[in-house]
Amino acid sequence: MCLLLKGGLVVDPDRNSIKKADVLLEEGRIAAIQPGLKAPDAQTIPVEGCYICPGFIDMHCHLREPGEEMKETILTGTRAAARGGFTAVVAMGNTKPPADSRAVIELVKGQAEAAPVPVYPVGCATKERKGLELAEIGDLVEAGIVALSDDGNPVMNSEVLRRVMEYSTMFNLLIISHCEDTHLSAGGIMHEGYISTLLGLRGIPRAAEEIHVARDIILAEMTGARLHIAHVSSAGSVRLIREAKQRGVRVTAEVTPHHLCLTDEAVMTFDTNTKVNPPLRTPEDVEALCAGLRDGTIDVIATDHAPHTLEEKDVEYNYAPFGISGLETAVSLMWDRLVAKGILTPVQLAQKMACNPAKILGLPERSVKVGNAANLTVINPQLKQPVRVESFVSKGKNSPFNGWELLGWPVLTIVAGKIVMSEGKLTGSERS
Ligand SMILES: [Zn+2]
């Protein structure tokens, strides 16, 4: 099966260039890139005016299986990923039971065999994510994890985290840190500031995140571990990571689309879909996050896709669970809010959503280059349409972006040479 993408704009982060060319895909690989390609046997797909990017990877999502299949399954979550333009996802380990054993990792990998996009599992850093004893890290590595994390929770005990980091260096394994001092954040449901005071809601100060960012950087510096800070939300965290990188600490970081597109003002609607952890912060924080993306302090944009049922979110703000269903809006939000507004170039977006995640996770290089695996995300920058949660294939309809009219949408997702999404519709033989 050959595919010929005709007349697209090939995004090449290696050369920091965009050039008009046809792309021929053969046997799961990129076979040729040049203008005016002819391939009579290939299925030709016109993509004039569309950007052909290296395949996007979401390096932070919650697929909920095993244990909470009412919220999402590996199949529905990966279908949502394909629909959202992602060619691979990294699944966090806060499932029920948690991914602290070889058996759970093997179950995830087994379920992922029927998935439209590959799933890379994260193993827990500590047993049952309790932060007390190290998980069987050697076993988890053998089972095929790409990183360690107790995400959803921090490892509160610094001595335990030190040992996790020391152990991780034996495998050069990435540690993904959910940075939150849970004593400082206890009972909080939104950013602590003017608006939380106005609304009379309990706040979570920036310090709850920043103290852990600082601590984890210090421990990474001491142990030589590879540290990745998840969902950075505050200006202070960006500053700490920038300084650490300048000192040569092995630290990388990610930001979510919702922390870039919303502020704590959104909570004034009392829409429980604005309840996220870490919380939505202030315009100054958003500005610092954008600056961090531009100067390379923040390496990655990741969704932190956290699907919940309608019943769970349809309660008072206080009682709703934290999280947004993000896989099907991330790429479009980032195009509309960052690329179309000139904050990031298309090349930079491809770096943050494809090349850097692959590099940090130790996956094969993501770039549109002859010989590479044909993992591609094609974006139509002219397509303008509203977000409709009722059309989500994710079981999670919990999105604060419902109804937002966005410019620039993924229109093709190609995994190993096979189209898994075209014009917003899933294709292929996977179960529906
Ligand atoms: Zn987290």
Residues 326 and 269 in one domain: yes
CA dist 148 to 67, 231, 409, Å?
20, 15, 32
Rounded CA-CA distance 394/302 in Å is: 17
Which of 311, 333, 361 is the endpoint of a domain? 361
Say which residues have a Cβ less than 8 Å from residue 225's Cβ, sequence separation at least 6: 165, 166, 168, 169, 175, 219, 250
Rounded CA-CA distance 56/152 in Å is: 23
Residues 199 and 88 in one domain: yes
**Ligand 1 center from residue 178 Cα (angstroms):** 5
pLDDT tens figures, 219-250: 999 999 999 999 999 999 999 999 999 999 99
Residues 226 and 155 in one domain: yes
pLDDT tens figures, 348-360: 999 999 999 999 9
CA dist 367 to 10, 69, 84, 303, Å?
10, 34, 19, 21
- 66 prior amide bond cis, ω within 30: yes
**Ligand 1 center from residue 193 Cα (angstroms):** 21
pLDDT tens figures, 139-198: 999 999 999 999 999 999 999 999 999 999 999 999 999 999 999 999 999 999 999 999
pLDDT tens figures, 281-300: 999 999 999 999 999 999 99
Residue 54's pLDDT is: 98
C-alpha dihedral (213, 252, 164, 99), degrees to nearest 10: 100
pLDDT tens figures, 75-91: 999 999 999 999 999 99
* Selection from 37, 54, 57 nearest residue 46 by Cα: 37
Annotation says 304 is catalytic? yes
**Ligand 1 center from residue 177 Cα (angstroms):** 8
Rounded CA-CA distance 264/188 in Å is: 13
Residue 227: HSE in the Cβ half-sphere, 13 Å Cα cutoff: 30
Q: How confident is the model at residue 431 (pLDDT cuts 50, 70, 90)?
A: very low
Q: Which two tokens stand for residue 268?
A: 């004034």
Residue 175's pLDDT is: 98
Residues 261 and 316 in one domain: yes
Residues 32 and 59 in one domain: no
Which of 307, 335, 361 is the endpoint of a domain? 361
**Ligand 1 center from residue 50 Cα (angstroms):** 33
pLDDT tens figures, 383-417: 999 999 999 999 999 999 999 999 999 999 999 99
Q: How confident is the model at residue 1 (pLDDT cuts 50, 70, 90)?
A: confident
Q: The CATH number of the domain where 259 resides is what? A: 3.20.20.140
Annotated catalytic residue within 100, 264, 299, 304: 304
Instruction: Name residue, tokens 């991330």.
Output: 330
- Considering its fold, how many domains does the chain have in total? 2
Residues 340 and 423 in one domain: no
Residues 252 and 327 in one domain: yes
DSSP, res 388: -
Q: Where are the beta strands (DSSP E) in 47-194?
A: 51-54, 56-61, 86-91, 119-123, 147-148, 174-177, 190-191
* Residue 107: how many other CB atoms lie within 10 Å: 18
Q: Where are the beta strands (DSSP E) in 47-139?
A: 51-54, 56-61, 86-91, 119-123
Residues 381 and 323 in one domain: no
Which of 310, 336, 361 is the endpoint of a domain? 361
Percent above pLDDT 90 for the chain: 98
Residues 155 and 304 in one domain: yes
Rounded CA-CA distance 277/267 in Å is: 13
Residues 302 and 382 in one domain: no
Residue 432's pLDDT is: 39
Distance from the Cα of residue 194 to its chain's centroid: 30
The domain in which residue 91 lies consists of: 55-361
Residues 258 and 184 in one domain: yes
pLDDT tens figures, 18-71: 999 999 999 999 999 999 999 999 999 999 999 999 999 999 999 999 999 999
**Ligand 1 center from residue 152 Cα (angstroms):** 4
Average pLDDT, the chain: 97
Does the structure show a pLDDT above 80 at 129?
A: yes
Q: How confident is the model at residue 430 (pLDDT cuts 50, 70, 90)?
A: very low
Q: How confident is the model at residue 2 (pLDDT cuts 50, 70, 90)?
A: very high
Q: The CATH number of the domain where 28 resides is what? A: 2.30.40.10
Rounded CA-CA distance 226/248 in Å is: 11
Residues 105 and 92 in one domain: yes
